[in-house]
Structure 1
Amino acid sequence: MVVNATGFRARYLADDPSLHPVRGQAVLVRNPGLTNWWVATGGEHPRYAFPRGDICLVGGTHEQGVLDPVPDPGTAEDILAAVATIDHRFAGAQPLGLRAGIRPVRPVPRVELMHEQDRTVVHCYGHGGAGWTLAWGTADTVAGLLASATGRPAATNGR
């Protein structure tokens, strides 16, 4: 039994050409007084601000096919300018840190049980920017698929 949760590398491991990289970039700044998060869509990139105590994570980008994990300072400036037009409290914000990550994206996340050659494989990848949000649910689904394949009850974490 194999669980394939290899992120972007599943493109090669599972021979899945529908999986592609999308780079996201964000900036850490001092919190200007934000108490609730917000997300603005409709532009070239989604923009957001997530307060985390004394700092805020603001972003973002959605760069199709970009594999470079190194944050770009010019992109950070663009993010800060765009966020400041949405929420004026961010005007003049200075970066405390830059973040970038490669998100494995498919048209629809792949969470399924397959019988391949001489083994059983549970695939779980392609969630894109929602991977963190969907992790608990897909982990429960994977546990259920493993239980059905082995005939053993799924372990639970008490939730």
Structure 2
Amino acid sequence: MPPAEGGPLRGSSAVTVVGGGVLGLTCALELARAGHRVQVLSADPVQDTTSAVAAALWFPYRAAPVDAVLRWGAASLAVFTELSADPSSGVVLRPGTVVHRTPEPDLWWAAGIPGLRPATADELPPGAPAGTRCTLPVVEMGRYLPWLLAACSAAGVDVAAARVTRLVDLPGDVVVVAAGLASGVLLGDDTCVPVQGQVVRLADPGLEDWLLDEDNPAGLTYVVPRGTDVIVGGTAVEGANGAEPDPRVEAAVLERACALVPALRDAPVLSRAVGLRPGRPTVRLDRTVVDGRPVVACYGHGGAGVTLSWGCAADVAALVSSP
């Protein structure tokens, strides 16, 4: 719940959050709910952030370390499951299939997922040898990000447009850096690299189930229906920083997806996009001191920013509130 009216709580801090994507806004909301006075500085409008490009199926893709990712993911899964009862949030629980192409797949991500079971033959896409069925949150970012922004506003968070180049210039008792790829630059961390992802948005031909095929020999493939549209991907090109869709890549992505989900073959293209995931060997979530002031870092989530957002935001709030 938002802080009670009547001013900040005892022990509250003035916190500046750098980053207006899903992680920055979720951290800001949790900090405001903990009684802090929060300002978010975002280089881009929320609809132009990398978060807006995400297919946003709950799944801890390209994120480490495992123990922390499982904990953050479980916390976020619980919140998204609760939010699915609110149509305005854009969160829907959908069944789907994770395709397996090895005899003993590593289901490290599956701890605590309710209803997990092997896929039956008639639930597998053409050519897939095996799979796991489960129901997971799908977060429609076109609705969820405005919902999150509105929740921040209702909690008293001030969101302003600003491109931050130096932390020393920022106001506040504490700074939270949750700005995706820009975080590494601000904190002098050269381990943060772009992981380019290209997607295409199709009209939904009436699909009910999502599909994830990480081990497809032709390349990463996912199909995430959202009721009126379907997000189809994808790519994960480490080090690539181009932001324009490549028609040849799109053709290959669509061919892979249509081979697995033939119903997509005649679906009209609604839009296309490229996002640069903030890749890092591990998620960085820690508290340090920069120029004499506490700085909490929260970045490097790879392809799992949405998936880990609520769990990481809870840890950020705990670090900001710690003595």
TM-score bracket relative to the smaller structure: 0.7 to 0.9
Match of 2:193 among 20, 24, 36: 20
Shift of 1:117: 4.3
Distance 1:73 1:96 in 2: 14
Match of 2:248 among 74, 79, 88: 74
User: What residue is the counterpart of 1:31 in the other structure?
Assistant: 204
Distance 1:67 1:82 in 2: 23
Determine helix, strand or coil for the equivalent of 1:127: coil
Q: How does 1:25-104 map to 2 (within 5 A)?
A: 25-43=198-216, 45-104=219-278
Deviations 1:26-74 (A, max 9, x none): 1111222210111011135321111111211111110111111111222
User: What residue is the counterpart of 2:177 in the other structure?
Assistant: 4
Shift of 1:116: 3.3
Match of 1:106 among 273, 280, 283: 280
Aligned AA (2:296)? V
- Residues 62 and 117 of structure 1: is their aligned pair in 2 closer, same or farther, counting only changes over 3 Å? same
- Counting matched residue pairs gives 149
Larger proportion of strand: 1
Q: Determine if contact 2:241/2:276 at 8 Å carries over to the other structure.
A: yes
Deviations 1:105-138 (A, max 9, x none): 1111101111234111100001011011111111
Deviations 1:3-26 (A, max 9, x none): 111211122211112110011111
Aligned AA (1:96)? L
Determine helix, strand or coil for the equivalent of 2:304: helix
Q: Determine if contact 2:204/2:267 at 8 Å carries over to the other structure.
A: no
Determine helix, strand or coil for the equivalent of 2:286: strand
Q: Percent identical across equivalent pairs?
A: 38
Distance 1:80 1:143 in 2: 41
Distance 1:92 1:73 in 2: 17
- Residues 133 and 93 of structure 1: is their aligned pair in 2 closer, same or farther, counting only changes over 3 Å? same
Distance 2:264 2:175 in 1: 47
Aligned AA (2:198)? Q
Determine helix, strand or coil for the equivalent of 1:108: coil
Determine helix, strand or coil for the equivalent of 1:128: coil
Report which stretch shifted further, 58-67 or 29-38: 29-38
User: What residue is the counterpart of 2:298 in the other structure?
Assistant: 124
Q: TM-score, normalised by structure 1?
A: 0.87
- Residues 45 and 141 of structure 1: is their aligned pair in 2 closer, same or farther, counting only changes over 3 Å? farther
Q: TM-score, normalised by structure 2?
A: 0.44
Aligned AA (1:8)? L
Q: Determine if contact 1:7/1:125 at 8 Å carries over to the other structure.
A: yes
